[in-house]
Structure formats: C-alpha cells, structure tokens
Amino acid sequence: MNVAELLAEARAAGRRYLCEDEVKEILGGMGIPATSCRLAHNEEEAVELARELGYPVVLKVRSPLIAHKSDTGGVALNLADSRQVRLAYREIMARATAVDPAAAVTVQPMASPGREMIIGVTTDRQFGPVLMCGLGGVFTEILGDVSFRLIPVNSDVARNMIRSLRGYRLLAGYRGAPPADEEALVNILVKVSELVATYPQIRELDLNPVVVYDRGALVLDARLILAG
C-alpha cells in the first residue's frame, strides 16, 4: 500500500491512531529510513521473524490502545535467542491483553547505539502544522532544548533548526567524538515536512528516538495521529 492508501484505510476503519508498523510503512514510502517492524500474531511467528531478522531483536507491544509502549512494560530490548523471545512474548502479551484483547507484538532488529534525537510534528491551534526536533531524552524533556519551524521546511531551514539547538555540539562532535551525520537528519526533517504538507490529515507525528550515526540515521520508533 502507498501512503495515501494506508492513511485512507485507517480513516475508513475509524482509527485516528496508527500503529508503529503502519507508521514505519508510511515512512518507508517517503524514503525515511526506519528499522523494520514485523507484525507477529503468535509466539511461533515471533520466533520465526526473529530468526529471519537476525539476533539480537526487540519485541514491542502493538495496540492502538497503548500509545506509551515502554511505560506499560510493552518493550523488550536486546533479545539474544528464541528462548528470550518466547519469554518476552508471553510477558508482553499477558500485560497487553488485559488492556486490549486484540493486542499483538512486533519484532524488530536491535539497532546499534548512536546519538538519539526526537523529531515530531504537531498541529498548533494558531500555526497549523509545525515541525519539531530536539536531542533525545533529558535534553528535550527536562531542558526543553527543541527547535520549532513552520511546515513546509526546506533543507536550509532544517539545518538551521538542528544547529540552533543548545546541545548541537553533541551532534557536531566533541571530546574526540566524530561528528554525527547531520545531513541524514536534515534529509529526514525535510521528508517529514513533505509528508505532512502532502497529507494534512496527519495531525501529530512522533519519531522518537531517531538515532544518528557517523553515517546515516534511523527511526527506531514512531507514532502518528490523524485529525479527528
């Protein structure tokens, strides 16, 4: 399915919240790099997918009712073999089905560590769609070190948005650490802007975290909300 079809399908089903696998399919359609995210309907499928993707893997709960996956014990990282996958599958499902009987699990490759960013879109009451980016974790949540720009955003504005972060040096390289791939981040920002400018029915989008490497960047988790 292409992006328009994916959005239309969710809409037709009366859903405003898109699950991670769906959002990542949309990102893929826009050429935004993300970790693959495969839906497992049962334990055997989870093990099979893990083998296919290669260990270590990540298991995440998949339910439109559970937006904050890790807060509710819905994420298991760095699973090394089929035994760990089975255990994690059972634990996640036991918690999730209490909330949503239709909950499932996604299996994803474990990404290598890098510098974490958050990229998002919000529809402001006064401005309409606004693009945000910030350094992940405490930088965004506690220090509020984020940039906002009105969508559409071109690569110059995107670059400026990254460089105006107080914590920019963490990306630019410090204490001998090589610079992160800023242009890969610019590329994601511009494509997210394009996505939302093309599909104004997207009300909110969170790519969190986006890991930036010395070469390349990768979206590890994503959620999307359509206009009501």
Partner 1 sequence: MPANKLEVLHRIFYPRSVAVVGVTGSSDRVGYNLLQSLIYSGFQGKIYPIHPRLESLQGLPVYRSLEEVPGPVDVAVIGVNQFATVDVVEQCGKKGVKGVICVAGGYREMGAEGKALEERLIAVARQYNMEVVGPNTLGLINTRANLNATFYPLRLPRGKVSFVSQSGGVGLTILQKAVDEGLGINKWVGVGNRSTLELSDYLEYLARDDSTAVIGVFVEGTDDARRLVQVAGEVARRKPVVFYKVGRSNAVNFAALTHTGSMAGSYQMYRQILQQFGLLVVESALEMVAACKALAMAPIPRGNGVGVVTHTAGPSIVLLDEVNLRGGVFPSFTESTVDRIKEVLGQNPPVVLKNPLDAAGQGMQATAIGRLVEAVLDDPRIDLLVAIYCLHLNWRCPTSELLAAQEQSGKPVVALYISTQEQVREEREILHSRGIPVYVTPEEAVWGVSALLHYALQRGGISR
The answer to whether 171 and 214 are in contact (CB under 8 A) is no
Applying CB under 8 A, which part among 3-11, 70-78, 99-107, 142-150 lies near partner 1? 142-150
Q: Minimum distance from CB of 15 to partner 1 (Å)?
A: 13
Beta carbons within 10 angstroms of residue 112's beta carbon: 8
Q: Minimum distance from CB of 115 to partner 1 (Å)?
A: 18
CA R_g for the chain: 18
d(CA 34, CA 28): 7
Q: Which of residues 60-99 bind partner 1 (CB under 8 A)?
A: 67
Residues 6+ positions from 39 with CB-CB distance below 8 Å: 21, 62, 104, 105, 106
Among 59, 186, 205, 210, binds partner 1 (CB under 8 A): 205
Q: Minimum distance from CB of 206 to partner 1 (Å)?
A: 4
Q: Which of residues 156-175 bind partner 1 (CB under 8 A)?
A: 157, 164
Q: Minimum distance from CB of 91 to partner 1 (Å)?
A: 25
The verdict on 147 binding partner 1 (CB under 8 A) reads: yes
The answer to whether 162 and 145 are in contact (CB under 8 A) is no
d(CA 114, CA 116): 6
Q: In this structure, what token pair is assigned to residue 37? A: 């995210």
Q: Which of residues 8-67 bind partner 1 (CB under 8 A)?
A: 17, 67
Q: Minimum distance from CB of 166 to partner 1 (Å)?
A: 12
For the chain, helix (H) and strand (E) counts, in that order, are: 8, 11
Nearer to partner 1, 35 or 208 (CB): 208
Among 51, 111, 148, 167, binds partner 1 (CB under 8 A): 148
The total number of residues written for the chain in this structure = 228
The DSSP bridge pattern shows strands 202-212 and 146-150 to be: unpaired
Number of residues that bind partner 1 (CB under 8 A): 30
Nearer to partner 1, 205 or 218 (CB): 205
29 burial type by CB count under 10 A (0-12 exposed, 13-18 middle, 19+ buried) = middle
What percent of the chain is helix, strand and coil (3-state, nearest 5)? Answer: 40, 30, 35
Q: Minimum distance from CB of 193 to partner 1 (Å)?
A: 12
**Per-residue mark of binding to partner 1, 103-132 (x: CB under 8 A):** ---------------x-xxx-xxxxx-x-x
Binding site for partner 1 (CB under 8 A): 17, 67, 118, 120-122, 124-128, 130, 132, 134, 140-141, 144, 146-150, 157, 164, 204-206, 208, 223, 225
